[in-house]
Chains A and B, each alone.
Chain A
Amino acid sequence: MCTTCGCGVGQTHINGKPVQTRHRAAQSVRFRAPESHDTHRATETMHFGNGIAGTHAPGMSQARMVKIERDILAANNRWAEQNRRYFSAHGIFALNLVSSPGSGKTTLLVNTIERMRDQFPIAVIEGDQQTDRDAARIRATGVAALQINTGKGCHLDALMIGRALQQLAVPDNGLLFIENVGNLVCPSGFDLGEEHKVEIQSETEVEDKPLKNPDMFHSADLMLLNKCDVLPHLNFDTDLAIGYAHRVHPGLPVIRLSATQGDGMQAWCDWLAANCRRVAANANSMETGF
């Protein structure tokens, strides 16, 4: 179990079907080929008994130091880069939506889809520990959605997204929303290949969340302050909340909005549209060489 959020090893499912992930703590594997797209490497067999180390005289130590200099999350980062290349080649503007549970991510997506669907093709990847309820809410709008269930796992990783991209046809020059598992801790460390992480905080939460859970606010590129419609009924101090977020992440852009009432949605949709056009134009110029 993870000490920060209590997660454990979980069987990952995509649209209800089990998928292979790296979780394998319970299995006994002497040597495991790395999971990557380099299939020629994955089929390679290693015979440790036959190498230099295998032939040395017993009792003679062959200890040596090997320089590694690699990020612990190197495997995830490799997959993330692969996803990122895919997005940029296809002109897809991909966002990773992160927040605590209940801040309004799915509600925001449904409302955003209704406003943007005539301008840009949209697809959604939903991440939750259990159920496909959120994917069903997205599909009810007519937009394609793929549900990843992480079981006891508490975040999406880049390999899951890579697998999802094989199943979900994300239209070229479109908008891809990835709704991460509701969790303010783990998802901050796992690059999915998205262009930006967008952090959603609602005005029904406490102002000092950025100080208590700084990692997500530090790694996000945009913060949405949702549920501004209920502000009159609360003692929430919006300036204080934004001030705390800016302590952790100086200059973090903030948009205040209400996913249910529509206030502020125009600013968010304008930001999305501008980015979509830029990413699509880049992909086009890559293709034509200009």
Chain B
Amino acid sequence: MHELSLAESLLQVIEDAAREQQFSRVKTVWLEIGQLACVEQESLRFFFDAVKADSIARQARLEIVAIAGQARCENCNRNCGIETYHAACPYCGQYALSVTQGEEMRIKELEVE
């Protein structure tokens, strides 16, 4: 995934929120990133540092909460954890999993003043 675009987009969401919710400084940004989402965390931090300069988020710290991958098996109907898209169902061995969690790239909340 293109982390520069993500960082720019992240800043845009923050700036939109600043206008809607009337704040002028962001101290902490809480993200939820699914483990299946194609995001390099270190790269995202690097680009966020670059794009946030001179913005209301220039002093903001990124807190990233990882969301584990989960899926339901269409064959045996059970739920399981997955780390990759090509995982087989651990119960029945079939490649019939549909992802239910772990693809998120969400901004949860901001600590602002």
Minimum Cβ distance to chain B for residue A47 (Å)? 10
Please determine whether A3 and B84 come into contact, CB atoms closer than 8 angstroms: no
Max chain B Cβ within 10 angstroms of own Cβ: one of A1, A154, A211, A247 = A247
What B residues does A186 contact at CB under 8 A? 1-2, 5
Q: Which residues of B contact A32 (CB under 8 A)?
A: 12, 15, 55
| B-chain residues with CB within 8 Å of residue A75 when the two chains form the complex | 9, 12-13
A32 closest partner in B (C-beta): B15
Count: A-B pairs, CB below 8 Å: 171
A137 sits at the interface (CB 8 A): no
- CB-based contact A250/B51 at 8 Å: no
In the assembly, what is the distance between CA of A8 and CA of B18, in Å? 28
- A49 to B110, alpha carbons, bound, how many Å? 20
CA distance A214 to B84 in the complex (A): 8
Could you tell me if B112 and A64 are in contact, using CB atoms closer than 8 angstroms? yes
Residues of A within 8 A of B12 (CB): 22, 32, 34, 74-75
Asked if residues B38 and A215 are in contact (CB atoms below 8 Å), the reply is yes
When chains A and B are docked, how far (Å) is the Cα of A68 from the Cα of B8? 16
Determine whether the beta carbon of A250 is less than 8 Å from that of B1: no
For window 54-105 of A, CB contacts with B under 8 Å fall at 54, 61-76
Say yes or no for B24: interface residue by CB 8 A criterion.
yes
Per-residue CB proximity of A11-51 to B under 8 Å, as 1/0?
A: 00000000000111100111110100000000010101101
Give the residues in chain A near B17, CB-CB below 8 Å: 66, 68, 70
Residues of B near A22 (CB, < 8 A) are: 5, 8-9, 12
Contact B86 A72 (CB under 8 A): no
Total interface residues on A, using CB and 8 Å? 63
Chain A residue at minimal CB-CB distance from B56: A31
Q: How near does chain B come to A285, taking the closest CB pair, in angstroms?
A: 31
Given A3-B40, A22-B8, A250-B96, A72:B106 Cβ within 8 A = yes
By a CB distance below 8 angstroms, the chain A residues around B68 are none
Interface check A274, CB cutoff 8 A: no
A163 near B: Cβ within 8 Å? Answer: no
**A189 and B38 contacting across the interface, CB-CB below 8 Å:** yes
* CB <8 Å contact, B43 and A2: yes
Is there contact, CB below 8 Å, between B113 and A62?
yes
Q: Cβ of B113 and Cβ of A71 under 8 Å apart? A: no
The distance in angstroms between the C-alpha atoms of A4 and B6, with both chains bound, is 13
CB pair B8–A64 under 8 Å, yes or no, is no
Report 19 cross-chain contacts, Cβ distance below 8 Å, ordered by A residue. A2-B1, A4-B1, A5-B2, A22-B8, A23-B4, A31-B15, A31-B18, A32-B15, A34-B12, A48-B24, A48-B56, A61-B113, A66-B17, A67-B108, A68-B13, A69-B109, A71-B105, A154-B2, A246-B95
Can you name 16 extra interface pairs (CB under 8 A) apart from A64-B23, A69-B106, A250-B96?
Answer: A2-B1, A2-B4, A8-B4, A9-B4, A28-B54, A46-B19, A48-B24, A51-B22, A54-B24, A65-B110, A68-B108, A70-B13, A71-B106, A185-B38, A189-B105, A249-B85
